[in-house]
Structures are given as C-alpha cells and as structure tokens.
Amino acid sequence: MANSKEHAHELIDRLPPEKLSAAVIVLEAMLDPVSLAVANAPVDDEPESAEERKAVAESKAWFKERGGQGISHEEVLAEFGLVPDDFNKQKD
C-alpha cells in the first residue's frame, strides 16, 4: 500500500500547477462524495422574489441594529430556561 501511496505522491509532484486543482477535486470527491455533489450542483438561477428581497433587507437591518452580532447560544438556551451545562448533560 505504501508503494501505491508513494506513486500517487510522485504523480502529484509531477503535475503542472494548473492541473493541481483538478487533482484535488478528484481526491476530495473520492473521500467525500457529498463534496462532489455540492460542486456539481446547478447554480441557483431562480429570480429572487420581492418577498425574499424584503426578508433579506429586514435581516440585514436586524443585524445592523445589533452591531453585526447574532444571538448567542447562551441567549437561546436562556429562552428555554436552560444554561450551557444543562445542554451538555443532554449530549451525554
């Protein structure tokens, strides 16, 4: 197996720089088929509706009012009467 690995390294070393990105894509796809599916997914070219534009504008305004900060994990837990330790206990 080490021989195959060494051979793969040699082949990669011999690739011209402009072909390295293609080799990386193939290797990543072999290791993670989800990455390949995402890379090959069609571009979302559906026009944005007026309602969607309004929602995006409202969300940007919301973040601007809060200095670019969202809601912390602790704040979300507090809304349910929990603290981080309670949440961590649930994972166990």
Distance, in Å, from the CA atom of 22 to the CA atom of 11, rounded to the nearest integer, reads: 13
Burial of 19-38, coded b for 16+ CB within 10 Å and e otherwise, reads eeeeeeeeeeeeeeeeeeee
Q: Model confidence at 87, in pLDDT bands (50, 70, 90)?
A: low
Diameter of the chain by CA atoms?
Answer: 59
Q: Can you give the residue ranges of every domain in the chain?
A: 2-39, 50-91
Q: Picking from 12-16, 37-41, 62-66, which range would have the lowest pLDDT averaged per residue? A: 37-41
Give me the DSSP letters along 36-75. Answer: HHHHTSPP--PPPPHHHHHHHHHHHHHHHHTTT----HHH
**pLDDT number for residue 90:** 62
- Pairwise pLDDT comparison (73 vs 56), residue with the higher score: 56
Q: Supply the pTM of this predicted model.
A: 0.42
The alpha carbon dihedral of 30, 36, 37, 40 has a sign of: negative
